[in-house]
Structure 1
């Protein structure tokens, strides 16, 4: 059905990541490609002085390891990509750069704060140039 699928995974909720990764594999065309993506949020400059210098590097290493384990445990081939910045912006940029035709993203049940600020999944759905499948 789809030739290139972006699967953004929040490693703090890896169970949802496993679910959407398996769903991506079931929707992938033969010869297609899945990109497992994790976005590391940047530390605001006013907090950077209070954060250990290797925090971002350690977060990137942890994400790489967990995504590689996820890929190995499921037996589904995928490219792993790590980015840094606001999650919605980086997910959309990855989809554009990869010329993706589907983004599969996990979401949580909205609460009142989501109606005021919006969630990452909401922003991705509103601004994506390709189809988006949201898993609750």
Structure 2
């Protein structure tokens, strides 16, 4: 059982967090710290001008609220919102909080994943802790 688990979540119609959260419950020791993280991609400069004023702040607030709500299902849950490259941010967070496990969802790899590598694959290759990959 693990005492400090990170669960990266994506909020889109292709990803349902239920499986990752259920697996986390099964892997967590009593009183485990569970950190749910969502990494927002950087918005290209040319696209920012097309977004309504305040959109970024509103999106961040909405995402943080979702993370906090899901994290509330755990005794020691926390929601963390980061911005940048997903794999890099997850790996940085592992080091920052001393996580001993990451529960990450994966998808069937496409051609781009073989050339560049998916987020889950990069986390598996570089994480200093256990990684549970879900399909």
Provide the C-alpha distance between the structure 2 equivalents of 1:124 and 1:13, rounded to a whole number of angstroms.
Answer: 23
Matched, 1:80 2:88: no
Show the 5 A alignment for 1:17-36: 17-36=17-36
CA distance in 2, matches of 1:14, 1:69: 20
TM-score by length of 1: 0.87
Once structures 1 and 2 are overlaid, which stretch shifts more, 52-61 or 86-95? 52-61
Alignment match, 1:101:
100
Which has the larger displacement, 40-49 or 126-135?
40-49
**Aligned-residue offset at 1:27:** 0.9
Q: Which residue of 1 aligns with 2:128?
A: 129
Equivalent residue for 1:12? 12
Relative to structure 1, the CA distance from residue 13 to residue 107 in structure 2 (aligned partners, 3 Å threshold; closer, same or farther) is: farther
Give the aligned length. 134
Please, which runs of 5 or more residues in structure 1 have no aligned partner? Answer: none
Shift, 1:56, TM fit: 2.3
Cα separation, 2, equivalents of 1:50 and 1:20: 34
Q: Which runs of 5+ in 2 are unaligned?
A: none
Contact 1:16–1:106 at 8 Å: present in 2 too?
no
Match of 1:51 in 2: 51
| 2: CA distance, partners of 1:52 / 1:117 | 32
Give the RMSD, CA atoms, in angstroms. Answer: 1.8
The structure with the largest helix share of the pair is 1
Q: Give the SS at the match of 2:17.
A: helix
Per-residue CA distance 1:70-122 (angstroms, 9 max, x = gap): 345xx323111111111111111111101001011001111112111211111
Which position in structure 2 is the counterpart of 1:3? Answer: 3
Q: Determine if contact 1:6/1:34 at 8 Å carries over to the other structure.
A: yes
TM-score in terms of structure 2 length: 0.88
